[in-house]
Amino acid sequence: MYAAFRNLSRTMSKTSGQKLKVVIFLGTCREGRVGLRVSRFMKNQLEKSNHEVTVFDPLEMKFPLLERPVFHYKDRTEAPKWMCDAEAKVKEADAYVVVSAEYNHSIPPALSNMMDHFGGSSYAYKPSGIVCYSPGIYGGMRSAMQLRAFLGELGCLSVSNIFGIPEVHKALDEDGKPLNDHMERGANRLIAQLDWNAHAMRNHRETFGIPQ
């Protein structure tokens, strides 16, 4: 079923003349992080199914502790260029994938700090998908439950499927290559839902606009 959907997604992208644009938010910068494996894996899976992917990595992009989000600058020319460039990527995206660990059973602070640099209007009327992981057997699901509320308030409601990865160190190698048969199936279930919603919402935005 998911292979058939990927073929449909490719057909829809070709028909519209546009690939779906997806931003992956990697939510950890902790020493020895395994989240980088997960983001690499998801990037590969999305690109294989005809998506244009940008990764936001708080360790690479050096988001500061939030003092002034981009939407607090009435004149955008006064905002840091890197922040305006990042905001443009968020606004251009058709969907978001949030790759999250579980810190103290909650959302990693680097993730919420990074996403809070941009206003809800940047995310609004687009879907999101949650990919959570942990070295334990629960796969980071407690952070995923809190992410549902967080993403809903940003305006990018998460699709119903959550891709949870327990014992993540046994599921992916350091390059993000899967080590078992379940990884690609799990990712494709999430991508199938995300694609359906992203196409539908993009078509509706283009046809009817968004509420003002």
DSSP state letter for 172? B
CA–CA separation, 182 vs 131, rounded Å? 14
Residue range 29-41: mean pLDDT, rounded:
94
pLDDT at 195: 97
For 153-188, write each residue's pLDDT tens digit. Answer: 999 999 999 999 999 999 999 999 999 989 999 999
- DSSP labels, 103-146: BTTB--HHHHHHHTTS-HHHHTT--EEEEEE-SSSSTTHHHHHH
pLDDT at 62: 87
E strands of the chain, at which residues? 20-26, 51-56, 95-100, 128-133, 158-165
Taking the alpha carbons of 168, 198, 17, 53 in that order, is the dihedral positive or negative?
negative
- On the question of pLDDT at 20 being above 90, the answer is yes
- On the question of pLDDT at 122 being above 80, the answer is yes
For 89-106, write each residue's pLDDT tens digit. Answer: 999 999 999 999 999 999
- On the question of pLDDT at 3 being above 70, the answer is no
Looking at domain 2-208, which CATH architecture does it have? 3-Layer(aba) Sandwich (3.40)
Q: How many CB atoms are located within 10 Å of the residue 106 CB? A: 14
CA–CA separation, 194 vs 97, rounded Å? 9
Q: What percent of the chain has pLDDT over 90?
A: 88
Q: Model-level pTM? A: 0.91
- On the question of pLDDT at 6 being above 60, the answer is no
- On the question of pLDDT at 5 being above 70, the answer is no
CA–CA separation, 71 vs 108, rounded Å? 23
Closest Cα to residue 50, out of 95, 1, 98?
95
pLDDT at 15: 44
pLDDT at 147: 98
- On the question of pLDDT at 65 being above 70, the answer is yes
pLDDT at 73: 95
27 close to 87: Cβ distance less than 8 angstroms: no
